Amino acid sequence: MTPIGEIFLVDDETEIRQACQQTFELEGYAIKTFSSGEEVLPHITPDWLGVVISDVKMPGMDGLTLLNRIRSIAPDLPVVILTGHGDVPMALDAIRSGAYDFLEKPAPPEYLIEVAKRALEARRLCLENRNLKQRLAVDFDLESRILGSSAEIKQLRQTVSSLASIDVDVLVLGETGVGKELTARSLHDCGNRQNGKFVPLNCCAIPGSLVESELFGHERGAFTNASSRRIGKIELAQGGTLFLDEVESMPLDIQVKLLRALQERVIERVGSNQLIPVDFRVVAASKIDLREAVSNGTFREDLFFRLNVARINVPPLRDRAEDVMPLLHYFMGVMADRFNRPAPDVAPEVNNRLQQYPWPGNVRELRNVAQQLVLGLPLDLSGENDAGSSDVPASGVAVLDELVERYEKQLIVDALVRNDGRVEKTAVELGIPRKRLYLRMRKYDLRKE
């Protein structure tokens, strides 16, 4: 079985390098030799699976200095020191400085191989332990972000955890309100681009004529009203993640340019011929089946295949009913803190009603329901069709005055929240005298708190 890992041998004597290389290669080890510390340092990385064997006395950078430089790059990388006769005190200093072991030259081949084998195994276990800790930290972070205990949500967290540190573009699919942007942010925050920016762009919210400028930027004078240079979203996402929400809304001509940017990782600002290298990851989200959009001719097939390298399907809330009440209580806690009000108890009949509700608006709608409950407002479930469970009276005839009062109360509540309970500012915003606002608040049993 071929040993796992690599050996770097550093020695200024050609004969020793050649002899050690032959010894290790005969035993099946991958080995590279270097004549100086300066030569080997560029090859040292924190995650390298290997061991360094170095002489102590060398021209220029000696073995102890090399040891310290390596430890500054990879503190737990094993470094074995080779010493000549009489250099044992120096070797002991190396051990105190963090060397894995030291051997006197000429070291018996079988002993040299045994030390290297133990050092490689220690390095492998160290990296595995580190990776396990990182994975556990990511999983713990994801559990606090993507809430729920259903099998569907557990699978979603597992998929996000697996893809977070793999530098591939991702397509996130799901209905409106399921949490596609939350999924994209989790991919970014738990991955190796977390120190870069997360740059969101809603393709549906921007007029078609401006999408190109938003994505790629433009130079001054590129078009009417382009009075200064503008950096586009792709450049802003340098080293980070570009999130393209509702990507199915992107115009076909812009899809061509996006495809080129994804394939070549270069862009041109509008009005410029200069090629700008970019390093970014794309997470694209869609609420429709993009294969159908391809069939309809509204989405390019080549761009679909380019984005569909890895795909995440975010499940709708109706498919994970066991998550409804835990999510509701979580959101009620958030709203209670936000509005400085106690979280109410949920009556059994309301509980049953929510459990059976199909949640067409998904988690976003559930959050709105939590806000209604905390604010003491009538429960408004827009997806209910039966008259007996809606906010309209059971007779099916809504009293106009009741609807008007409900609307007025909601307007006042929203305005008070926006103005942090300040009555005078709220009255100005609503365009009514402060005294009339106080009367309305008394009527609806509202307090500025």
Does residue 285 sit in the same domain as residue 154? yes
Alpha-carbon span 33 to 118, nearest angstrom: 20
Residue ending a domain, among 368, 392, 416, is 392
Q: Which residue has the higher pLDDT, 367 or 2?
A: 367
User: Is pLDDT above 60 for 396?
Assistant: no
Q: Is the pLDDT of residue 2 over 70?
A: no
Residue 143 lies in a domain: no
Angle (deg, nearest 10), helices 434-443 and 400-418: 120
Work out the average pLDDT over 67-75.
91
Which pLDDT tens digit goes with each residue over 37-63?
999 999 999 889 999 999 888 888 988
Question: Does a structural domain hold residue 165?
Answer: yes
Same structural domain for residues 434 and 366? no
> Which has the minimum average pLDDT: 106-110, 386-390, 398-402?
386-390
Among 295, 315, 335, residue at a domain's last position = 315
Boundaries of domain holding 384: 317-392
The reported pLDDT for the residue numbered 133 is 67
Mean pLDDT of 20-24: 91
Domain co-membership, 276 together with 417? no
pLDDT on residue 446: 84
Query: What is the average per-residue pLDDT within 254-274?
Result: 92
Rounded Cα distance between 287 and 316, Å, is 11
Q: What average pLDDT does range 395-408 have in this prediction?
A: 55
What pLDDT is recorded for position 402? 62
**The predicted structure's pLDDT at residue 410:** 83
**CA atoms of 116 and 7, how far apart (whole Å):** 8
Answer for the pair 44, 23: CB distance below 8 angstroms, yes or no. Answer: no
The total of structural domains in the chain comes to 4
Tokens of 241: 């993640």
Whether residue 235 sits in one domain with residue 99: no
In a domain, residue 140? The reply is no
CATH number, residue 263? 3.40.50.300
Considering the domain architecture, whether residues 263 and 341 belong to the same structural domain is answered as no
Identify whether residues 410 and 383 lie together within a single domain.
no
Is residue 419 a part of any domain in this protein? yes
Please tell me the predicted confidence (pLDDT) of residue 57: 84
Domain assignment present for residue 135? The answer is no
CATH number of the domain enclosing 427: 1.10.10
What pTM did the predictor assign? Answer: 0.60
The mean per-residue pLDDT over the stretch 105-116 comes to: 88
**Does residue 246 belong to any structural domain of this protein?**
yes
The verdict on residue 408 lying in a domain is yes
Predicted confidence (pLDDT) at residue 228 exceeds the cutoff of 90: no
**Confidence band for 416, pLDDT divided at 50, 70 and 90:** confident
pLDDT computed for residue 391 by the predictor: 43
Q: Is the pLDDT of residue 230 over 60?
A: yes
Q: How many other C-beta atoms can be found within 10 angstroms of the C-beta atom of residue 364?
A: 14
What's the pLDDT score for residue 444? 82
- Residue with more model confidence, 84 or 373: 373
User: For the domain that residue 31 is a member of, what is the CATH number?
Assistant: 3.40.50.2300
Are residues 107 and 62 located together in one domain of the fold? yes
Q: 263 by DSSP, 3-state: which?
A: helix
Q: Transcribe 23-63 into DSSP letters.
A: HHHHTT-EEEEESSHHHHGGG--TT--EEEEEESS-SSS-H
Residues 66 and 103 in one domain: yes
For 282, the 3-state DSSP assignment is strand
**Spatial separation of the C-alpha atoms in residues 381 and 364, rounded to whole Å:** 12
More confident residue, 61 or 226: 61
Amino acid occupying residue 258:
L
Mean pLDDT of 420-443: 85
Domain-terminating residue out of 364, 392, 420: 392
Q: What percentage of the chain reaches a pLDDT higher than 90?
A: 47
**Structure confidence at residue 139 (pLDDT):** 58
* Tens of pLDDT, residues 290-343: 999 999 999 999 999 999 989 999 999 999 999 999 999 999 999 998 888 888
Confidence of residue 88 (pLDDT cuts 50, 70, 90): low
Please tell me what DSSP assigns to residue 71. Answer: H
pLDDT at 85: 61
Least confident of 173-182, 224-233, 351-360: 224-233
Token pair in block for residue 432: 């009514």
449 is written with which tokens? 């708190």
Distance CA 114, CA 131 (A): 26
Query: Which helix (DSSP H) or strand (DSSP E) does residue 257 occupy?
Result: helix 252-264
pLDDT score for 153: 94
In terms of Cα–Cα distance, which of 286, 369, 362 is closest to 319? 362
**Integer CA distances (angstroms), 370 to 324, 414, 447, in order:** 11, 15, 20
Question: Are 69 and 121 part of one and the same domain?
Answer: yes
Q: What is the mean pLDDT of residues 266-293?
A: 93
Q: Is 27 a domain residue? A: yes
Instruction: Return the pLDDT at 383.
Output: 63
CATH number (domain holding residue 340): 1.10.8.60
Find the length of the chain. 449
Q: Are residues 406 and 365 in the same domain?
A: no
Q: Name the band, by pLDDT with cuts 50, 70 and 90, for residue 403.
A: low
Whole-number percent of the chain with pLDDT over 70: 91
Q: Does 388 have pLDDT greater than 60? A: no
Q: What is the mean pLDDT of the chain?
A: 86
Same domain, 388 and 410: no
Report how far residue 70's alpha carbon sits from residue 64's, in angstroms, rounded to the nearest whole number: 10
- Residues 300, 162: one domain? yes
The set of residues, in sequence order, having a beta carbon less than 8 Å from that of 400 and lying 6+ positions away, is none
113-134 burial by CB neighbour count: b if 16+ within 10 A, else e? bebbeebbeebeeebeeeeeee
Q: Can you tell me the mean pLDDT for 366-395?
A: 67
